[in-house]
Chain A
């Protein structure tokens, strides 16, 4: 008995394949998967809103301008931490010392500008957006 199958005579019907696939996908989805896809889509939309906000673009430009000052600040902290610059606890301690030093007379010039940044409206606005972004992404 021949075991040769007849060759297909038609090209695949893409529309039918699409319908087949869609039916299979819908049949396989669980209620939680549907909910999760919705949550992820919502978070992605929120993230896109935030990332394209004018304030974020403004922050990016400002960050670029302030890059040399930020670098000076980090270098100062690293120098205070000594050889163990990678140690987070020492760095935090160094940051605290730098903060105290900034309040005292004769403080380093770069650090004053760095600390003043916190009060910039654009920075505060951007920080609020970042917090919202993190919150939404965590939910995703």
Chain B
């Protein structure tokens, strides 16, 4: 009987775990000693960091998607369906289509989704760049805009932690590039007492905002949006009028967690931050956005976590070896600071980041990575 690895989720983390494990266990896969199956709802994978670039017409939406099957190791099975319930006692996952898939080891890589309905009026009144459709709509709105008041508002938690700062700085550069910056009034709002939860990013952002005449209002938690009057209301009592509202909606984990009785608040899985095991289960792991680990929800985190998890799964599947690789909280995030300059932050559980001086070469590094990240997904590099 083959040892079965079942991965729910065909996003960044799901694909990387599948491909890294398959690459290391090719021989066992060929001999049918191991089976690896990925369950995903969508036929296509979408490169989410590209949405920000779509909004500014810097990337073609068509270049952001590829069929999941093309990105998976040939030794991995792909089942296109929605997972509805995990039964940890029976070691099975029930799918919407009726199939019940058994597992010896289960990886939950179901990501996070925006929940605009959590803020009344947000869906009707705001744009966002957290879905492909949303980014395309925002691109069209920006292209029609000759000036006015643009307000950015953030709900937490959300994935891609520095994206609000990136969007704001890119908007400033975009308007300058069109020669219309004087006609725009840009306001950045943030829910906590500084411009970002990461202190170094907050310090960097506050200086840049001041330098570029971008208003910054902190302690601003979205309460409701009046789409007719075009006013954003905060829990703290501020009322901010806008011509264009760009929001980062609050996020939640996938409903599978709640349906299975495995997830906690926000539908995030309570997860051991080093071994990535779901609390109380030796054979269930969580990776990427879907965990409750106190680390940014970011593609790089999914990547670093996936390598650790894959190494541990290889040991378990090959010879039952106890997991010995630990995730250190490592993350790496680019920060676009305009349309041709960028910086980055790199940190882990023990070492907070600093923000280097932005440069063109970092921007080129990021845009190059936008084109070649598929190689990471496929575990080629």
A residues adjacent to B (C-beta < 8 A):
1-3, 5, 12, 16-18, 20-21, 23-25, 27-28, 30-33, 36-37, 40
- Are A17 and B361 closer than 8 Å at their CB atoms? yes
Residue of A whose beta carbon sits closest to that of B24: A32
Distance in angstroms between the alpha carbons of A112 and B353 in the assembled complex: 72
- Are B356 and A5 closer than 8 Å at their CB atoms? no
| A20 contacts across to B, CB distance below 8 A | 356-357, 359, 361-362
- Are A5 and B381 closer than 8 Å at their CB atoms? no
- Are A17 and B359 closer than 8 Å at their CB atoms? yes
| B20 contacts across to A, CB distance below 8 A | 32
Distance in angstroms between the alpha carbons of A37 and B376 in the assembled complex: 12
- Are B365 and A30 closer than 8 Å at their CB atoms? no
Distance in angstroms between the alpha carbons of A3 and B380 in the assembled complex: 46
Using known A-B contacts A21-B361, A23-B356, A28-B300, determine if residue A36 contacts B381 with beta carbons closer than 8 Å: yes
- Are A28 and B346 closer than 8 Å at their CB atoms? yes
Please report whether the interface of chain B is mostly helix, strand, loop or mixed according to DSSP.
helix
- Are A37 and B381 closer than 8 Å at their CB atoms? yes
Distance in angstroms between the alpha carbons of A31 and B306 in the assembled complex: 11
Q: How many residues belonging to B are interface residues under a CB distance threshold of 8 Å?
A: 26
Any chain A CB within 8 A of the CB of B379?
yes
- Are B346 and A17 closer than 8 Å at their CB atoms? no
Distance in angstroms between the alpha carbons of A28 and B20 in the assembled complex: 18
Q: List 17 A-B contacts (CB under 8 A).
A: A3-B176, A3-B182, A12-B359, A16-B359, A17-B361, A20-B356, A21-B362, A24-B362, A27-B332, A27-B346, A28-B300, A28-B344, A30-B303, A32-B20, A32-B379, A36-B380, A40-B381
| A28 contacts across to B, CB distance below 8 A | 300, 332, 344, 346, 369
A interface footprint on B353-381 (CB within 8 Å = 1, 0 otherwise): 00011011110010001000000100111
- Are B213 and A18 closer than 8 Å at their CB atoms? no
Any chain A CB within 8 A of the CB of B281?
no
Sample of 15 further A-B pairs with CB below 8 A, known A18-B361, A32-B307: A3-B176, A3-B182, A5-B176, A5-B211, A5-B212, A12-B359, A20-B356, A20-B362, A24-B361, A24-B362, A25-B365, A27-B344, A28-B300, A30-B307, A32-B20
- Are B332 and A33 closer than 8 Å at their CB atoms? no
| A33 contacts across to B, CB distance below 8 A | 376, 381
Distance in angstroms between the alpha carbons of A17 and B343 in the assembled complex: 11
- Are A24 and B212 closer than 8 Å at their CB atoms? no
Residue of B whose beta carbon sits closest to that of A33: B381
| B379 contacts across to A, CB distance below 8 A | 32, 36
- Are A1 and B213 closer than 8 Å at their CB atoms? yes
- Are B359 and A21 closer than 8 Å at their CB atoms? yes
| B362 contacts across to A, CB distance below 8 A | 20-21, 24
Distance in angstroms between the alpha carbons of A16 and B360 in the assembled complex: 11
Any chain A CB within 8 A of the CB of B220?
no
Distance in angstroms between the alpha carbons of A36 and B303 in the assembled complex: 15
| B167 contacts across to A, CB distance below 8 A | none
- Are B344 and A31 closer than 8 Å at their CB atoms? no
3 tightest A-B CB contacts, nearest first = A27-B346, A21-B361, A3-B213
Residue from B20, B332, B369 having most chain A Cβ neighbours under 10 A: B332
A1 to chain B, nearest CB (A): 6
- Are A3 and B181 closer than 8 Å at their CB atoms? yes
Using known A-B contacts A5-B212, A21-B365, A40-B381, determine if residue A30 contacts B344 with beta carbons closer than 8 Å: no
Residue from A23, A25, A27 having most chain B Cβ neighbours under 10 A: A27
| B332 contacts across to A, CB distance below 8 A | 27-28
Distance in angstroms between the alpha carbons of A34 and B357 in the assembled complex: 26
- Are B176 and A12 closer than 8 Å at their CB atoms? no
Distance in angstroms between the alpha carbons of A67 and B64 in the assembled complex: 46
Distance in angstroms between the alpha carbons of A18 and B360 in the assembled complex: 10
Residue of A whose beta carbon sits closest to that of B183: A3
Residue of A whose beta carbon sits closest to that of B176: A5
Residue of B whose beta carbon sits closest to that of A22: B361
